[in-house]
Amino acid sequence: MKSASDATMMLRTPFHSRVAAACELNAWGTWKGYTTPTAYTDVELEYFAIRSTAGVFDLSPMNKYRITGPDAEAYLNRLVTRDVSKIRAGRVGYTVWCNDAGQVMDDGTIFHLGENDYRVCAFARATDWLHWSALGFDVEVVDESDEVAALAVQGPTSCAALLAMGLVGLEQLKPFGLTMFPFEGGTLMVSRTGFTGDLGYELWIAADKAELLWDRLFEAGRPHLIKPFGSDALDMARIEAGFLQAGVDFVPAESAVRSGRSRSPYELGLGWLVDMDKPVFNGRKALLREQARGSRYRFAMLDVDGNKPASHSFILSGGKKVGTVTSAAWCPTAKTNVAFAQLEMPHGDVGQELVAEIYYQRELQWTRVMAPCRVIGAPVFNPPRRRAVPPGAF
């Protein structure tokens, strides 16, 4: 057994040797106890690797749970809001899961690997909750977070780079599809998923083959202008693509101390993930009640005038505070100033004109601008290549 001090040292991902060599800026952050880079060379240039060529992100610290057994589908169907029976084998589904009060505990993806075999990827640690929920189901829940290494390969040349690595036929993989390739005596799983809103894939591999995978990928990807990117660039990309970040845009329900701080799927704009045709799932009753009574809040994407990101701004309507901003960024590809806001109902209809109260500092002096903004109905970045089958070379 490891000594207590060793066991609590900050962890390194299976790609660490390669990541550290590429991390010219030595800009390190932490993610679930792992040391991960916030930036490798330059945040803007890394962001543009995602949007113009291909960017690579080490997502190994993601919580990964393997669910197997005869009751796996039934178990997951009670756990999450979506109808898991509709996620066929070889497909991936994005979903949320709620507590009994219908409040979102987390969002994540369910990979249907094979018969009675699933993997759940989650932002929050969920071992306790998953075991607790297994009572009465014939399933096995295994935390494989440390055993499975993962890389996201995102951007317009991502498919070309992976094809060059020898992943024959990958161009036929549809969005949210997954497929397996033999890799050095093991198996490489590739899913057409990601958190950037662009064409992209995620590679899943046993930890002991991680470094080899990195080397092969970068060797094959060089003519396709592949580059690693850190968490800062990812944050820009996901805001531009309209993706919520757990812990930033909502408080996972089980970690909310103050009453009223958690949100339902409807209040996060994720009502489309709730399948009321399912007779039973966690939070169903509460969500039915909410449908009848109406929600308290509404998630809104805002197009904000000017070029000052509306980070942490109050949102006003007729001079009265009606909400707050959870994420905001100037989006370099869409050339738009975007903010995600939590608005009190009934505010937030698409097209509604609001005002963002933005504070920003220049050389120690704080300034306030009241920037007009509009509720927009769709993310500002959503290129056709994200859905194209087969995707083009760039």
Partner 1 sequence: MKKYDAIVIGAGHNGLTNAAYLAKSGLDVAVLERNPYIGGATVSRELHRGWTYSNCSYVCSLLRPEIARDLELPRHGLQVVPYGGGVTFMRNGDYYGNYYDHNRQYREMARHSKRDANAYERYTTDVMKQTRLIRPYLLRRPPDPTSLKPRDLRDLLGFARSFMEMGEEGLADTLRFWTKSVGDYLNEYFETDAIKAHLGGTGVIGTALGVYSPGTAYVLLHHYMGDVDGNVGSWGFARGGMGAVAAALEKSFRAFGGEVICDADVDRIIVRHGKVRGVALKNGDEYLADIVVSNLDPRRTFLDVMDEGDLSAELLHRARNFKIRGSSGKLNIALDGLPSFHGLDKSSPLMVGDMHFTDSLERLERAYDDWKDGTWSKDPYVDMLIPTQTDPTMAPPGKHMMTVFVQYAPPKINGGEWTDADKAGFEKSVIDQIAAHSPDFRDLILHCETRTPREIEAETGLTEGNIFQGELTFDQLLFNRPFPGYSQYRGPVRGMYMCGSGTHPGGGVMAAPGANAAREILRDLRRPDVVPGGYADD
Binding site for partner 1 (CB under 8 A): 24-25, 41-42, 44-45, 48-49, 51-53, 156-157, 160, 164, 222-225, 306-307, 330, 332-336, 362, 367, 393-394
Task: Supply the minimum distance, in Å, between the C-beta of residue 203 and partner 1.
Answer: 20
Task: Supply the minimum distance, in Å, between the C-beta of residue 219 and partner 1.
Answer: 12
Tally the C-alpha atoms within 13 A of residue 182's C-alpha that lie toward its C-beta: 2
Looking at the Cβ atoms of 8 and 367, the one nearer to partner 1 is: 367
Looking at the Cβ atoms of 44 and 140, the one nearer to partner 1 is: 44
Looking at the Cβ atoms of 225 and 286, the one nearer to partner 1 is: 225
Task: Supply the minimum distance, in Å, between the C-beta of residue 153 and partner 1.
Answer: 14
Written in H, E and C, the secondary structure of 319-376 is: CEEEEEEEEEEEECCCCEEEEEEEEECCCCCCCCEEEEEEEEEECCEEEEEEEEEEEE
How many Å apart are CA 269 and CA 387, to the nearest integer?
22
Task: Supply the minimum distance, in Å, between the C-beta of residue 172 and partner 1.
Answer: 20
Task: Supply the minimum distance, in Å, between the C-beta of residue 134 and partner 1.
Answer: 47
How many Å apart are CA 85 and CA 318, to the nearest integer?
46
Alpha helices in the chain (DSSP H): 4-7, 16-22, 43-52, 72-79, 127-133, 158-164, 210-221, 231-240, 284-293
Question: Are 354 and 283 within 8 A, CB to CB?
Answer: no
Q: Which two tokens stand for residue 310?
A: 């509306």
Task: Supply the minimum distance, in Å, between the C-beta of residue 330 and partner 1.
Answer: 6
Task: Supply the minimum distance, in Å, between the C-beta of residue 233 and partner 1.
Answer: 13
Looking at the Cβ atoms of 108 and 242, the one nearer to partner 1 is: 242
Name residue 283's amino acid: G
Question: Are 303 and 338 within 8 A, CB to CB?
Answer: yes
Cα torsion 299, 263, 154, 337 to 10°: value is: 30
Could you count the other beta carbons within 10 Å of the beta carbon of residue 125?
A: 16
Residue 332: partners with Cβ closer than 8 Å, 6 or more residues away: 44, 47, 48, 51, 236, 240
Task: Supply the minimum distance, in Å, between the C-beta of residue 157 and partner 1.
Answer: 5
Looking at the Cβ atoms of 120 and 160, the one nearer to partner 1 is: 160
Looking at the Cβ atoms of 370 and 393, the one nearer to partner 1 is: 393
Helix 43-52 crosses helix 231-240 at what angle (to 10 degrees)?
50
Task: Supply the minimum distance, in Å, between the C-beta of residue 314 and partner 1.
Answer: 20
Looking at the Cβ atoms of 48 and 75, the one nearer to partner 1 is: 48
The DSSP H or E segment spanning 314 is strand 314-317
How many Å apart are CA 182 and CA 3, to the nearest integer?
37
Tokens 């393997």 sit at which residue? 66
Looking at the Cβ atoms of 131 and 222, the one nearer to partner 1 is: 222
Looking at the Cβ atoms of 55 and 265, the one nearer to partner 1 is: 55
Looking at the Cβ atoms of 61 and 155, the one nearer to partner 1 is: 155
Looking at the Cβ atoms of 35 and 41, the one nearer to partner 1 is: 41
DSSP-derived secondary structure letter, 229: -
Task: Supply the minimum distance, in Å, between the C-beta of residue 337 and partner 1.
Answer: 8
Task: Supply the minimum distance, in Å, between the C-beta of residue 169 and partner 1.
Answer: 19
Nearest to 262, CA basis, from 125, 98, 122, 129: 98
Cα torsion 141, 143, 147, 148 to 10°: value is: 80
